[in-house]
Amino acid sequence: MELVLDSIRKVYGKKVALHDFSEVFTPGVYGLLGPNGAGKTTLMRVIADVLRPTGGRVMLNGKDKDELDEGYRDIVGYLPQDLGLYGSFTGRKFLMYVAALKGLRRQEAAVKVEDLARITNLSECLDTHCGKYSGGMKRRLGIAQALLNDPRILILDEPTAGLDPMERIRFRNLISQISKDRIVLLSTHIVSDADMIAKQIILLGKGRIVEQGTVADLQASMQGRVWSARLPQACLAEISERLVLTNVAQKEGDVEVRIVCERKPLDGAVPAQPVLEDCYLYHFKYLAERGEW
Partner 1 sequence: MDLFLFELQKLVFNKTTCIGAAICLLLVVTGGIMNAVNLKHEVGDYTMFVAQLQEQEGPIDQQLGEQAVAEVTRLQALRASNPQAFAVEDPRYVTLQYVYANAYNMALNYTHGSERENPENPYSIAGLEQYLNRHAGHSDTFAYRNVERHLAMKQEAGVPGFFNTLVWDELLAFLGKGGALILALLIALVVSPVFAGEATSNMESLILSSKLGRRKIVTAKLLSTITFATLLVVGFFAVCLAAYFLPFGGLTGLDQPLNSIYSFHLSPFGGWSLLSYLLASVGLAWLVCVTLALVTAFTSATQKSPLPVIGITIALLLGPAFLKGLQSVLWPIVDFGFLRLLEGMPVFAYYKAYNLLGNPVLYPVVVVAVVSILSLILTCLTFACYRRKNASLGA
Q: Give the range of 18-26, 70-78, 204-212, 231-239 binding partner 1 by CB under 8 A.
A: 70-78
User: With contacts defined by CB under 8 A, how many residues of the chain interact with partner 1?
Assistant: 35
12 binds partner 1 (CB under 8 A): yes
Which residues between 231 and 290 bind partner 1 (CB under 8 A)?
none
Pairing of strands 208-213, 200-205: antiparallel
Report the residue from 70, 241, 289, 292 that binds partner 1 according to the rule CB under 8 A: 70
Candidate list 5, 18, 21, 41; residue touching partner 1; CB under 8 A: 41
* 30 is a contact residue toward partner 1 (CB under 8 A): no
- The residue (of 100 and 166) whose beta carbon lies closer to partner 1 is 100
Q: Is there binding between residue 82 and partner 1 (CB under 8 A)?
A: yes
CB of 122 to partner 1, least distance (A): 17
Three-class DSSP category at 115? helix
Q: Which stretch binds partner 1 (CB under 8 A): 89-97, 206-214, 244-252, 278-286?
A: 89-97
Q: Which of 103, 271 has the CB closer to partner 1?
A: 103
Dist. CA 268–CA 27, nearest whole Å? 45
Q: Which of 103, 135, 224, 268 binds partner 1 (CB under 8 A)?
A: 103
Q: Which is nearer to partner 1, 48 or 244 (CB)?
A: 48
Closer to partner 1 by Cβ: residue 12 or 290: 12
Residues of this chain, 42-61, that bind partner 1 according to CB under 8 A:
42, 45, 48-52
| 136 vs 213, beta carbon nearer partner 1 | 136
Query: Whose Cβ is closer to partner 1: residue 51's or residue 169's?
Result: 51
Residue among 141 and 275 whose Cβ is closer to partner 1: 141
3-state secondary structure the chain: CCEEEEEEEEEECCEEEEEEEEEEECCEEEEEECCCCCCHHHHHHHHCCCCCCCEEEEEECCEEHHHHCHHHHCCEEEECCCCCCCCCCEHHHHHHHHHHHCCCCHHHHHHHHHHHHHHCCCHHHCCCEHHHCCHHHHHHHHHHHHHCCCCCEEEEECCCCCCCHHHHHHHHHHHHHHHHHCEEEEECCCHHHHHHHCCEEEEEECCEEEEEECHHHHHHHCCCCEEEEEEEHHHHHHHHHHCEEEEEEEECCEEEEEEECCCCCCCCCEECCCCHHHHHHHHHHHHHHCCCC
| Distance in angstroms (rounded) separating the CA atoms of residues 132 and 87 | 8
What is the smallest separation between the CB atom of 127 and partner 1, expressed in angstroms?
16
Sheet hosting strand 270-271, strand order edge to edge = 244-251, 254-260, 226-232, 270-271
Beta partners for residue 59, in sequence order: 4, 64
Binding-site member from 101, 166, 220, 248 for partner 1 (CB under 8 A): 101
CB nearer to partner 1: give 73 or 258: 73
CB of 45 to partner 1, least distance (A): 6
Task: Tell me if residue 267 falls in helix, strand or coil.
Answer: coil
In the complex, the residues that contact partner 1 under the rule CB under 8 A are 12, 36, 41-42, 45, 48-52, 70, 73-74, 76, 78, 80-86, 88, 93, 96-98, 100-103, 106, 145, 149, 155
